[in-house]
């Protein structure tokens, strides 16, 4: 009995080392481990994605060749695909006709009322409004989260923001209250995330390099933030449903 107990930790150690090695190798060779490797808590959730601006409103025009409205939509579509892969139902404010085009000519100019009226009609759990910040100072960069109402939105904004601040490799500009018509009038938790500054020289270069990699990184961080919000551990504190 004593011998068995003595030998057990050795075997456990070996088993653990092998498991750690296998996990390490699979993480190295599996590029989307951050997204796909974790349990999907967004499954069966209903999520509104609001890509900011559009139509006659380009948003920030401080990145030559890429309007903020277009970049927002590119990120929104990547996020939509990830969420749908994970079994979530996604409603896009700027894709109401379902044609999936990110061509501004096909895009309607939506008011805040258009956006929240549509969003509320879907009876979704949360609303995420995707924006990129803009400044005439092209050295400025950082990630900023916005919320309208404390009880309804602040915790949601901070959970999303935490992921962006951890993963996007830009300064953490914190979360602020901002009375946006879209987030304020949505029935559930809602947040605007100004993920990075599109006007920043390096950021603009990355977003227009044709690979879509930066858009993908931003979409993945937003996905991770949404997944955190719906995760089992979070429901111990506040259930997303209770905030409605
Ligand atoms: Zn914007």
Domains of the chain and any CATH numbers: 35-235 (3.40.630.40)
Share of the chain above pLDDT 70, in %: 74
Distance, CA 20 to ligand 1 centroid (Å)? 43
Q: First and final CA of the chain: distance in angstroms?
A: 57
Distance, CA 132 to ligand 1 centroid (Å)? 5
Q: How far apart are CA 153 and CA 161, in angstroms?
A: 12
Distance, CA 73 to ligand 1 centroid (Å)? 11
Distance, CA 53 to ligand 1 centroid (Å)? 6
Residue 239's contacts (CB-CB under 8 Å, 6 or more residues apart) are none
φ, ψ dihedrals at 47, nearest 5° = -130, 130
Question: What value does the mean pLDDT of the chain take?
Answer: 83
Beta carbons of 132 and 67 less than 8 angstroms apart: no
Which two three-digit tokens encode residue 17?
A: 């080392």
Distance, CA 242 to ligand 1 centroid (Å)? 29
How large is the average pLDDT for residues 104-133?
88
Burial (0-12, 13-18, 19+ Cβ within 10 Å), 57? middle
Burial (0-12, 13-18, 19+ Cβ within 10 Å), 149? middle
How large is the average pLDDT for residues 54-63?
94
pLDDT in tens, 137-166: 999 999 999 999 888 899 999 999 999 999
37 compared with 172, residue with greater pLDDT:
172
Which two three-digit tokens encode residue 185?
A: 């009038």
Q: How far apart are CA 201 and CA 178, in angstroms?
A: 26
Bridge partners (DSSP) of residue 133 are 197
DSSP 169-194: -S-EEEEEE---HHHHHSSS-EEEEE
Span of 61-70, 201-210, 223-232 with lowest mean pLDDT: 223-232
pLDDT in tens, 67-116: 999 999 999 999 999 999 999 999 999 865 555 454 444 567 888 998 99
Q: What is the pTM of this model?
A: 0.80
Q: Is the pLDDT of residue 232 over 80?
A: no
Res 233: pLDDT:
64
pLDDT in tens, 3-31: 343 444 445 555 556 555 554 544 444 43
Q: How far apart are CA 209 and CA 70, in angstroms?
A: 14
44 compared with 240, residue with greater pLDDT:
44
Q: Is the pLDDT of residue 222 over 70?
A: yes
25 compared with 167, residue with greater pLDDT:
167
Q: How far apart are CA 173 and CA 171, in angstroms?
A: 6
Distance, CA 191 to ligand 1 centroid (Å)? 13
């Amino acid at each position: 009995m004593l011998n068995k107990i003595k030998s057990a930790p050795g075997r456990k150690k070996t088993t653990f080392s092998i498991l750690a090695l296998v996990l390490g190798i699979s993480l190295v060779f599996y590029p989307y481990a951050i997204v796909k490797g974790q349990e999907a808590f967004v499954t069966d959730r209903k999520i509104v994605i609001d890509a900011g601006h559009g139509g006659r409103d380009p948003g920030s025009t401080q990145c030559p060749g890429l309007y903020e409205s277009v970049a927002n939509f590119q990120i929104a579509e990547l996020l939509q695909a990830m969420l749908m892969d994970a079994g979530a139902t996604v409603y896009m404010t700027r894709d109401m006709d379902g044609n999936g085009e990110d061509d501004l000519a096909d895009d309607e100019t939506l008011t805040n009322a258009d956006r929240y009226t549509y969003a509320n009609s879907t009876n979704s759990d949360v609303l995420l409004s995707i924006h990129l910040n803009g400044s005439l100072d092209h050295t400025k960069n950082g990630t900023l989260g916005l919320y309208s109402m404390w009880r309804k939105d602040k915790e949601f904004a901070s959970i999303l923001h935490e992921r962006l601040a951890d993963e996007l490799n830009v300064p953490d500009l914190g979360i602020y209250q901002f009375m946006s018509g879209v987030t304020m009038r949505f029935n559930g938790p809602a947040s605007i995330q100004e993920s990075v500054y599109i006007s920043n020289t390096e950021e603009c270069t990355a977003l227009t390099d044709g690979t879509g990699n930066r858009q993908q990184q931003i979409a993945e961080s937003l996905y991770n933030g949404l997944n955190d919000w719906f995760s089992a551990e979070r429901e111990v504190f506040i259930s997303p449903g209770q905030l409605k």
